[in-house]
Structure 1
Amino acid sequence: MFDLRQLRYFVEVAETLSFTQAAQRLHISQPPLSQQIQALEADLGVRLLDRNRRRVALTEPGRIFLAEAKAILARAESARTVVTEAAAGFTGQLGLAYATSVSFHPALPETLLRFSHAAPGVSLHLMEMPTGAQYDAILSGQIDVGLLRSPPEGVANARQLTMEVIDEEPLILALPTGHRLAKQEKVAMADLANERFVAPPRTAAATLIDRLNLLAAKAKFRPNIRQEAQQIPSLLPLVAAGLGVALVPASLQAVHLDKVAFARIDDPEAFWLLAVAWRVDNTSPVLESFLRTVREARAKLGLG
C-alpha cells in the first residue's frame, strides 16, 4: 500500500513536470525519487506519468490521482493539526460553572475573553451553580472546573479536589443613601448590631451567610435578617427600598442604583474567597489550558 511520502513525491513531480525540480524541492537526489514513483505506480497497477528524456506528462489516470493525492495529503495535515491542537488544549470541550456572585468579578470576563482568544476551538459549556453544588458536579464529572467561593471543607472525597485561590475579594456594606452610616468610608461591624439585614437564603449563598455570621459574632451580635433575595444582585433593590443593609462583594459596585451607597467594613476578615477548583485526576489538556488562562488573568488584574 502506498504511503504519504510517495504521495508527496508524486504531487511534486506532477506539479513541476520535472523530476529534477521535484528532487530539488524535496531535498533528495533524483534516483530515489524515480524509484518511489515507480513503486507507487506498481502498487496502483497503473502508469501515472509518461516520461522520456525530454518531457514528463501526466496520464489520464495520473491526472485523476493527482486530485486524490492532494486531498489525502490535506486530510492528513488536517488530522495532524487537530491532534496537535487537542494535545495543547486548543480544541475539545470544557464544562465551567461559576457562582452567581462571581458574575460581576472582573476575573470572570477577563478569563473568558482570554480563553476564547487562546482556544477558539474549545466548546465552552457555562452554567451558574452554588459553591457546594459545584464541588459535587466536579467530583461526578458533570463539570470540569468551577469558579467558587470557599474551600472544600466538609465535602466528601475532598482529597480528590484541587483548589487554587484567585482573589480575596473585599466584602462591603450596601446601605440606603439616607442611612446614618451612608457617608462613612469605613464602617465597624459593631455599628450594625441593631440594623436589619437583607441577605440571600443560606441554600443560595452559604459561604456569604457564614461570613456575615462570623463578622457579626466577632462584634458580639447576631444579624437580624428581615428579608431574603435568591440572587445577590437582587439585594440592592431591597437596600434601595430601605428594607435593610446588605453584605455584598465589592465587585457588585459595578451595579449602579440610585439610593444605594457602599462602605468598607473595618475588619480584616471582611473578604470573600474566589477560587478555581477541579479534580486532581483530571489531566485534560483543555483544562490545563484554561487554568493557564485563569493564572494569566489573575496576574493581569493584580489579584492574589
Structure 2
Amino acid sequence: MATLNLTHSNPSTFILMGISGMEDAHIWISIPFATSYIISLLGNFMVLCVVGKEETLHKPMYLLLCMLALTDITKSSTVVPKALCIFWFNLKGITVRGCLTQIFFLHSVSFVQSAVLMTMAFDRYVAICNPLRYATILTNARIAKLGLVGLVRAVLFMLPLPLTLSRLPFCDNHIIPHTHCEHLLVAMISCGDITFNRTYTLVIPFVLMGSDLMLIALSYGLIIRAVLRISSKGAHQKAFSTCTAHICVMLMSYTPVFFISLTRRFSEGIAPRARIILADLYLLIPPMLNPIIYGVKTQELREKLGKYTCRR
C-alpha cells in the first residue's frame, strides 16, 4: 500500500465499532457469525479437496466451482476473524495498512467472484447449446486463463481504492461504525474531498458487475431460446436443472451487493445497524450456502462428497 500522507493527523489505527447500538449483544451475535464461518470453511474446503483428489472431476465446470470456493473462503476470511475479535475480545483497533488491505481484498474478491459467475453462465450455455463442441470450446487451460483475466481485471480496478484513501487527510475522527473496513465509510470520516471516492464506488460496481450481468443475461437468453426449440419436456427439465444451482448462487451474490450499494447512498431511512447486519449477512450466507447448493444440485459432485463423508 502507498505511504500515508495524512496532513491533519497520521493515525496508526482506526477503531471498528462492530454493530453500533448492539454492543451488549455482541457475544450473542458472534454465535451465528462463528457458526456460519465454520460451515463455510468446511464446505468450501471439502469441495476443493474432493475436486482435487478425484480425477473424474478435473473438468471446466468443477474448476469453476473451485474458483468460486476460493473466492468464498477469501471473502469471509477477510472480514469474519476480525469481527469475531471485536465481538469476543473487544479488540476494535485495526492498523491503517490493515484496513486498506482489508478494503482491497474484500472488493477485489467480489469482482473476481462476479467474473467466475459470468464464466459459469457461459459454461452452461456451451454445455446446453453446443454439447458436442463443449470439450473443444471449454478446456481446463482456457478456464484458467479466463479466471486469471478476472483476477487481473479486479486488481487493476480496485487498486485505486486503497491508494486514494491513503492520500486523504484525517482529522480527529478515526472511528468506523462497522464490523470491517468499508471503502466509503473510511472515506466519510476523512476531512478531505471524497468526491472521487463516492463516484468511483458508485460507477465501478455498475460497470464491472453490470457488464458481467449483461453477458449472463445473454447466455441465459440463448439457453432459453435453444431449450424452447426442443419438443421434449424431459429435455426441458434436464436443461433447466443444470442451471438451477448457478441461478441460485448468482441471485445470492448479486442482489445483496446492489441493494447495499444503493441503500448506502440513496436511503437515509434505513437504520445504520440494519445496513451493517445486511452487509455482514452478504459476507456470511452465500459462502456458507454455495457449496451446499452445488453439492445438492450436482449429482457427480454429490456422489463424490458422499463417498468421502461415508468413508469417514
Q: Which structure is larger by alpha-carbon Rg, 1 or 2?
A: 1
Instruction: Name the TM tier (shorter chain).
Output: under 0.3
More helix by share: 2
Relative to total residues, which structure has the larger strand share, 1 or 2? 1
Q: Which has the higher contact order (CA 8 A, sep 6+)?
A: 2
